[in-house]
Amino acid sequence: MTSISKSKIFIGIAISFAVGVLAASVFNVPRQAVLIFLAASLSAFALAFYGRNNKTALGLLFLFCAGLGSLRLQVSLVPNQFEEFFDAKQKLEGYIVEDVDVRSTQQLITFKPNGFSQNILISARLGQRFFYGDWIVAEGKVTAAKNYEDFDYQKYLERFNVYATMSYPKILMLKSDRLNPVTGGLLKIKAAFLARLGSFLDEPQNSLAVGILIGGHGTLPKEIVNNFSVTGISHIIAVSGFNITIIILAIASLAEIIGRRNSVWLAAAAIVAFVIICGASASVVRAAIMGSLMLTSLSLGRQYSVAPAMFFAALIMLILNPKILFWDAGFQLSFAATLGIIYFMPEFNKLTENRGAGSSAGFWRAALSGLALVADDLGLKTLVLTTFSAIIATMPLIVLNFGIVSLSAPMVNVLVVPAVPWSMLFGFLTALPFVGAGCAMVANWILIYILKVTEFFAGLPYSSLNAQIGLPVFLLLCGAVFGFYYLLVLLNKRRVSLSVEQTAGL
């Protein structure tokens, strides 16, 4: 169509679709207006395309995709099936359709009553055990989710297809194992593993190990969760591409034994199983899609490109569930962090190369190069640059969603993140017979180290700052992030041109 590469056109399509979803999430645009917009943009695109006006055609294609995004969000907004039952006591029979989320003070059960396509979130006391696939009768008051001043809890739950809540109803279990046997089997393996892990590790190390291995912080004390937030390392208890990469690398090591094709299929099956076990959160699904694309590229002998893969994952996820764009902070942070690593890290790498070269550019380049020298000598350069890249990219969203700016995040990430893979390794090895107890002891030491580091830095004055902001300030922060990125690009271009001039002068 134009001189623009196909991958950039695809990225533009994905971004346009997301913009359309976002617009429909924020503004109440009539569906009829969206349909008229789609028809007009498609007609204009056809005219421009056949008239060989490629740039105009491309712009109209992006507009059409934005309209599709708005329409997809509108289609997903369906009436609440439980509205007529709100604030009335009901006796409902149905199935537990998700893994039960056990917290420190309660357990959350996703319940689908017979005759309904939407779910109810049940808050139940600890003690009585429930499992995915259980057929139960719940008797209690059906209520709408309560919104908070700065948090739309209803929309947050609706992204999971949850449209009502029940608080501590009477629950009678009728039968078990009534749904997908594969999912049920995997979740039973998960439960057995967690029970073994808990038999070796004390709290809160056990809860932290669970969070690092399969995500979540439901059983961690609030003080520890707050420490992680203040020091900017909450991401270590949110499953991400790091976990998926470890799975792929571990199975890739078997390629010479079982063959490349078999190892690819095994890795794909392991990724699917991991998603089921961890729960299909935004970060898990994003990482799984990108990991699957990497496997496909390897099996076909094609080059894997991270940026198109990430935007492909985002597009697929928004097509399947457009509500996650605006009402799921996990989705936003996962993609923002990945974007930061994709785009900022190469520029930081360029800026810290050729350390000995001097130029009028710079004090700042010299300072960055000095830091890079120390980090590289310690084997931490990649970690430091990755951390800074992710922190910069996610900063506006973190301030908007959580009202906090962590000043200690860079240092704590450098101290903690290298220990995370070792805690995962030894935590996982506790499942093995004979050596499980010894591996658990090593894992315990590492987990205590992580907890002590975060506790120390969280207790320091000015470890973090509270910063409640609105949409205008958020947009200004986003502009500052984009401006900083282009500043890095310009600095690197200037450095290259100066290097060429110096070489020519020689």
Instruction: Give the integer Cα–Cα distance in Å for 294 and 468.
Output: 39
* Sign of the four-CA dihedral 41, 45, 46, 51: positive
Least confident window among 163-172, 220-229, 255-264, 331-340? 255-264
Q: Is the peptide bond before 396 cis (omega within 30 degrees of 0)?
A: no
Nearest to 306 by CA among 282, 279, 333, 340: 340
Query: Are 427 and 212 spatial neighbours (Cβ–Cβ below 8 Å)?
Result: yes
Q: What is the pLDDT of residue 39?
A: 95
Torsion of the alpha carbons at 162, 97, 220 and 423, rounded to the nearest 10: -130
Give the model's confidence band at 165: pLDDT under 50 very low, under 70 low, under 90 confident, else very high.
very high
Structure tokens at 204: 């809160």
Express each pLDDT in 94-137 by its tens digit. 999 988 888 878 899 999 999 999 999 999 998 888 999 999 99
pLDDT at res. 503: 61
Kindly list the distances between the CA atom of residue 495 and the CA atoms of 12, 364, 382, 481, in Å, as whole numbers in the listed order.
30, 12, 21, 21
CATH topology of domain 83-179: OB fold (Dihydrolipoamide Acetyltransferase, E2P) (2.40.50)
**Residue carrying the six token digits 């449209």:** 163
The Cα–Cα gap between 7 and 394 comes to 24
DSSP for residue 151: B
C-alpha count within 13 angstroms, C-beta hemisphere, residue 249 = 7
Answer for the pair 299, 264: CB distance below 8 angstroms, yes or no: yes
Question: What is the DSSP track for 390-428?
Answer: HHHHHHHHHHHHH-EEESSHHHHHHHHGGGHHHHHHHHH
Q: What does the alpha-carbon distance between residue 206 and residue 197 come to, in Å, rounded to a whole number?
A: 7
How many Å apart are CA 239 and CA 211, to the nearest integer? Answer: 8
What phi and psi, each to the nearest 5 degrees, are found at residue 176?
-125, 170
> For residue 109, which of 134, 91, 87, 86 has the smallest C-alpha distance?
134
**CB-based contact 489:347 (threshold 8 Å):** yes
CA 180 to chain centre: 26
Give residue for tokens 């569930």.
321
Question: Residue range 8-32: average pLDDT?
Answer: 92
Q: How does pLDDT run across 215-226, given as a tens digit for each residue?
A: 776 678 889 988
Please report the pLDDT score of residue 288 as a whole number: 80
pLDDT above 70 for 355: no
Residues 6+ apart with CB under 8 A from 20: 65, 66, 67, 68, 69, 70, 71, 72, 73
- How far is 146 from 93, CA to CA, in rounded Å? 24
Is 308 in contact with 7 (CB distance < 8 Å)?
Answer: yes
CB 322 within 8 A of CB 69: yes
pLDDT tens-place string over residues 403-439: 888 889 888 988 898 888 888 889 888 888 888 889 9
Asked whether 160 and 328 are in contact (CB, 8 A), the reply is no
CA distance 359 to 491: 11
pLDDT reported for residue 244:
67
Closest to 280 measured CA to CA, from 135, 88, 25, 110: 110
Q: Read out DSSP for 58-105?
A: HHHHHHHHHHHHHHHHHHH----TTGGGTTEEEEEEEEE-S--EE-SS
The residues, any chain, with a CB within 8 Å of residue 45's CB and separated by 6 or more, are 57, 60, 61, 63, 64
Q: Quick one: 79 exposed, middle or buried, by C-beta within 10 A (0-12, 13-18, 19+)? A: exposed
Cα 208 from Cα 210, distance rounded (Å):
5
Stretch 32-59: mean pLDDT:
91
Residue spans per domain, the chain:
6-76, 83-179, 335-407+469-506
**Residue 15 pLDDT:** 94
Q: Are 397 and 336 in contact (CB under 8 A)?
A: yes
- Tens-place pLDDT, residues 223-244: 998 888 889 888 777 766 666 6
- Assign 11 a pLDDT band (cuts: 50, 70, 90): very high
**301 torsion bin: left (phi>0), alpha (psi -120 to 50), beta (else):** left
Q: For residue 120, give the amino acid letter.
A: I
